[in-house]
Structure formats: structure tokens, C-alpha cells
Structure 1
Amino acid sequence: MARRRTPSAPPVPTIRAVSVQRLIERLDRDDEKVSALLQQHDVALAGLIDPYAIMPLARYVALLEDAADLLGAPHLGAEMGSCFRPADIGPTGLIFSLSGTLGDAFARMDRYLPAFQTSTSSGLLNAGEDVLWAYRIHDPRIWPRRQDAEYAVMATCELIRSCLTSPWWPMEVHFEHSAPADTGALRRLFRAPVLFDQPTNGLLLSRQDVDRVNRVEDRDLLQVLERHVTELLQVHQSEETFAGRVEWLIAMYLDKRPITLDGMAAALGVPPRSLQRRLAEEGTSLRQLLRDHRTRLTDARLGEGARDVAGLVQALGYSERSVLSRAYRGWTGRPLIRGRKTAHER
């Protein structure tokens, strides 16, 4: 009998430190509070000069949250995203803006995003006659992450506009976090309906916009840029796990279809037995990943005071609240909600 391999600790999620530059532009560097904030999160301004420097993703996300509080700017992320330029995410952004169609642009960004930010996935999903672009940080411990989500989604709107010659706005905007006190400001910024407590962050696009040819691609320039990004990706790809890929698929499809071994294997392009074996080698299983995801999502939503429990039930792939309540008690030994306190607040 083969001995099960003990899985190694997963790599720390990272992001290129140049991503902080947009935030620095909003801050008064001479303000003592600002200096203390940057020092608290170990951000050295000199280090931002190097476009290839990296920092922990959790530190970056926490810095955005704290900066929004310090500035009294609850919509800081979305406001920063409205000033986004393709070069802000290096060659990946340039590749996106030079693509012939939005479909090609998003496929390339899905492939190359890890060169800029790890433990994160993005991609296009079918949404009936339309298409949903989805963005999500894998690590559930990186929470709250409202400002990062609103920045990423608004920045992607600006990326899309860099490909087009006519005005454009999304059909819908989706966020995984609960609704803030003022939702009107976000609706005005995005000029679209904004939905909260969703399975993922994203933008609803028309299929016509995704498939339309916007430009003739400069193949030579794209080849140079893609070669460069591919070299940056080598370290990330060597550390990628099957469990991480499955967790992404669970988050994307949990509210849309049953999660099965055959379905996950088909989405990953591997035989079911191979997927089962690879997960076992990494010390887990599809059942465990599904349970862990549901537990983390429930605790995160209830912990931040989510009011739409019915939406949470749907996001977790259940038919009724009572089913979720029984399942949650079985996972944790705690009731879903006790009085006015949540299980997460215990």
C-alpha cells in the first residue's frame, strides 16, 4: 500500500507591491497617521519603485481596509479603480488591452494573472444568454476584503473600456461581501445594478460585447509580452495545487449545479480517479473541500452581519435554511444563529 504523502504548507499568497501606488497617491505622506499606517503594514515607499517587488496579499488587502477607515472613504477601492490604467498590473494589463476581443482578453488574464497576484482566480462563466466575469481570492482567511473586491471590479471595468471605442457599462455588478450602509454611491460609480452576498465578485456582460472584434491584434507585440509573463509564471505554476483549483471551481459553481467528482474532473480535464488520487496526495478530498468551503463561507457571511440568510442558503447550494442549519451544526457542533449573535461571534 502506497504511503500517503504529507502535504507541504501552501505558499503565502502575494501581490506585486506596485499595486499600492494608486493608494499612495491618495494619501498625504507627511501625515503622521499615514506614516504609522504604512509602517504598521510594513510598506516602504522606496520598495515601490521596483515593479517586480512583491508583498503578502493579506497585508495589501488589510492595508486597503485600514486606509479606507483612516481616510473616512468607505468607497476607496472603487474610487481607486476608476483611475486604473492597463499598465498598473504590468504586462498582463497591456496584453488585455491589446487583445482582439474581450473573450480573448479575459482568457489571457485568467492565464497570466498569477504572475501579478497569486492565490486568486478570474475567468468567464456562462450565465444564461450572458457571461459573468468572476474574481475571487482563494484564501478565506483574507477577510474582510471589501476594498480589494471593489477596486478589482472597478479596475476591470476600466480595463474593458481600454479595449473599446464607445462608452460601456456592465449589466450587473456582483460582490461576495454584504451590502454596505450606502449602496447608492456604488451604483452611481458603476452605473449599473449592484448585487451583494454573491458567490463571487464579478461583472455581468453581454455575450455580444464579449465576442465582438475590437481590433486587429499585433501578434509580434503580444508574443513578446506573453513570453515575458510566462517566465514570471514559472514559480507559481510549480507550486499550484489541485486542491486550490478545485476550491475555485466549488466557489464558482456551488450555487449553480451539484458539485460532483465527475463534474470537477471534467472541468479540470482529468479522469475522476486521477483527481481523487491527487487530492488524496495533498491530504484532502472533494467532500472535505466542499465542507470546508461551506463552513468558511457561512462563518464569513454571518460574522460580518449578513442579513440575507436566504441568499446564503442559495450560495451554498442548499434548498432550505433548515437543511443548512442541520449541516452547519453537524460540521461545527454549533447552531447556525443563536439569538442576535452569530456562530462566528461565539
Structure 2
Amino acid sequence: MIRSSQGGRMMSESRIAASYARLLHDYLQRQGHDPSAVLGPQTLTTQHFVPMAVWQTWLAAVDDHEGRRPALGLRIAEGVRAQHFGVVGYAALACANLGEALQRMERFHASVYDANPAHLSVHGDTVCIEWGVARGRPGALVDETGLASLVQLSRDLVGKHIPAREVWFVNETPADLAPYRQFFGGEVRFDMPCTRLVLDAAWLAHPLRKSDPELLAMMDRQAEALLQLVSQVPSAIEAWRRSLVPLIREGRTTLAELARLHHTSPRSLQRRLADQGTTFQALLDETRRHLAEAHLKEGRLDLAEIALLLGYSEQSAFTRAFRAWTGQPPAQWRRAQLRGASLPGASVHTPAP
């Protein structure tokens, strides 16, 4: 079982990614409504995150605007795409199958939906994703939109309708259960002790149809552009470093994987690295450090998103590595860079995407 812990934070401190909040704006536009007229002024273009309280207010405003029609969260979720999950969604597109994608989204869920921690587990022929109530209850609209979005994204990734075996919600039973049973395709229960999604485990091995080559190529080009900002290295090392970019993003950071890409054996690659005065671990650390520093300077990504793109399973692992490289945690290093850039005569170089 993979567990994500958010410590002692409460629901009042929770937040969602601005990319996920865009889902609501896209829904309103599909309905022919002006999002600003319904939701009021908003700052999605300048924020990484939206406070949970604001998300709750926005959902309630749309619910009022539509006259409290049943199953609003399900209708909103119908338009979900990988980009609404931000970097986590993009990283999921690089996975080989749905199981890998769900694990990646579960591991980094807090960078998209920072409410109660998620727990993913496999029991026999079922897979269960569960959210408790330790940090509070965000409400029916938040829960239903979140769970339906995860189900819809999974269906979009594999290109098939994935019926749920069972769905639980902690909220009170709505007047009409039919829309929920139709959307999820299985038994839906309310007034339960936790929020839960149960699927057939066989879906975990299903390959993704939505691996997006253009999107992944764009991510690789951006990473390579960031690497070009650092000092020049011998051509052999540059080739290995460029090959590491997608491996790092996909979490396949081993000597064997790099050797396979270069059609050689791990032993031969090790010797060639030694001839250049380096090792695989040194090359990996150097590449990750340069990418980390460039992403931090650029300022577009949250620390959890940077950790994911660098192939770390937890943000804390990225923080430890960055401290070892620079003597500072990444947040402190970023603040220092921003202060330096604000000084008279300072300039910031941002690579083209």
C-alpha cells in the first residue's frame, strides 16, 4: 500500500491546483456561460494553487447559478483532461499502463488536490483508492467532483469505459441516485465512513491509449533547453545527459536503462563514463541539479511538481538531495534567487519552451 501523509494540516489549510480549478471554468464555457460573471474576479493565471475555501465557494456559486440541478460534480468531471491535473497529469501520460498512472497520481495527489490523504491498495481482484476524514469534510460538491474526475481521467487515459465496482461517499444521500449509478457504473453508497473507489484490479495492467507524444516531446524540449543554460560538456556526456531527461521524468533512473537507450551494456557504459572522468550517479545528480535549479529560477512549478519531474517518489527526497547539492533547501534557494533577480541590474534568463 502506498500512503501519502499531510501531517497535522486541517481542511481550512487545504488547496487545489489552479490547473484543476480550470476544470470549472471550462465547464462553464461549455455551458455557454462567462466564468467571470458566475465566479467573480479570479487569478488562475498567476497562482499555483487555489485555497480549498475558494474552490468550495466557486462550486457553490455554479450550483446556485444552475438552480441546484442534481449531480453537478459529475457533469463538471465529464470535461476533465490530463492538463487539469497539471504536471501530475502529464507525468501519467508517460506511464505504460493504468496501474502506473494511478500510483503516480496517488503519490503526488497533494500537488493537485491537497485535502485528505489518499491510500491506494490492491486486495485480490480489486484495487481500492480511499480518502478518510481526518482533516475534515470538504463537502459533497468537492468530493463528487474530485472522485468523478479521477474516474473520468482514467477512462480517458485507457480509451474505455471503466465501471466502478463500488463507490462510497461520506456525505448524505441525494434525492436521486440514478445519475451516480449511471456515471460510475456500479453500486454507489452515501453516509459511509470514508470516500472510496473500488475497481477491478485487471484494469491496472491496461495500456494507456492517451500517451501524448507531442506533449511529452514538449516537456523534453523544455528540459533540454534548461540544460543548455549550464556550462558546455563533452559531446559524449551531452548525449548521455539528454537521454537522461525522459528517464528522469519517468522515474527510470538506472544505469541499465541508460545503457539500453544507447544500445550498449551497463558494463560498457560504465567504462565509457569512467573514460570521461565521471560515473552514472554523478551524471544523474548533475543533470537533476541543473534541471532543479532551472525550474526553481523559472518559478512556474511548485516544489512537489519539480520533485515529480525529477523522478523523486516524495518531495522530501528531492529536498534532501537539493540540500546535499547546494547546502540549502529548495524553497530557501528559490527565495535567494528571486531576491537576487530583483536587485538593480539583475536579469533572469528564461529558456524558450
TM-score, normalised to structure 1, is: 0.54
Matches within 5 A, 1:1-346: 12-27=13-28, 35=37, 38-39=39-40, 44-45=41-42, 47-50=43-46, 52-72=47-67, 73-135=69-131, 138-140=134-136, 142-143=137-138, 145-214=139-208, 220-221=245-246, 223-224=248-249, 231-232=303-304
Question: Which secondary structure does the structure 2 equivalent of 1:78 belong to?
Answer: helix
Residue deviations 1:207-241, cap 9 Å, x none? Answer: 21124455798895463377777833589957xxx
Residue deviations 1:97-148, cap 9 Å, x none? Answer: 33123222222112212222324322322445311122456531x54x1111
Partner Cα distance (1:153, 1:53) in 2: 21
Worse-superposed segment, 125-134 or 86-95: 125-134
Q: Is the 8 Å Cα contact of residues 165 and 187 (structure 2) preserved in structure 1? A: yes
Structure 2 alignment gaps of length 5 or more:
1-6, 217-243, 252-291, 296-300, 308-313, 317-353
Letter in 1 for 2:59: L
Q: CA RMSD in A?
A: 3.6
TM superposition shift of 1:15: 1.6
Partner Cα distance (1:8, 1:216) in 2: 37
Letter in 1 for 2:146: A
Partner Cα distance (1:99, 1:136) in 2: 27
Letter in 2 for 1:23: L
TM superposition shift of 1:178: 1.8
TM superposition shift of 1:38: 2.8
Evaluate the alpha carbon distance shift between residue 220 and residue 199 of structure 1 in structure 2; reply closer, same or farther with a 3 A threshold. farther
Residue deviations 1:143-202, cap 9 Å, x none? Answer: 4x1111111111111221233144322222221212100111221222322111223223
Q: Is the 8 Å Cα contact of residues 122 and 201 (structure 2) preserved in structure 1? A: no
Question: Which secondary structure does the structure 2 equivalent of 1:74 belong to?
Answer: coil
Structure 1 alignment gaps of length 5 or more:
1-6, 239-346
Evaluate the alpha carbon distance shift between residue 126 and residue 55 of structure 1 in structure 2; reply closer, same or farther with a 3 A threshold. same
Letter in 1 for 2:98: L
Evaluate the alpha carbon distance shift between residue 221 and residue 199 of structure 1 in structure 2; reply closer, same or farther with a 3 A threshold. farther
Letter in 2 for 1:17: A
TM-score, normalised to structure 2, is: 0.53
Q: Percent identity?
A: 22
Partner Cα distance (2:9, 2:129) in 1: 30
Letter in 1 for 2:21: V
- The structure with the larger Rg is 2
The equivalent residue for 2:228 is none
The total of aligned residue pairs comes to: 221
Evaluate the alpha carbon distance shift between residue 114 and residue 157 of structure 1 in structure 2; reply closer, same or farther with a 3 A threshold. same
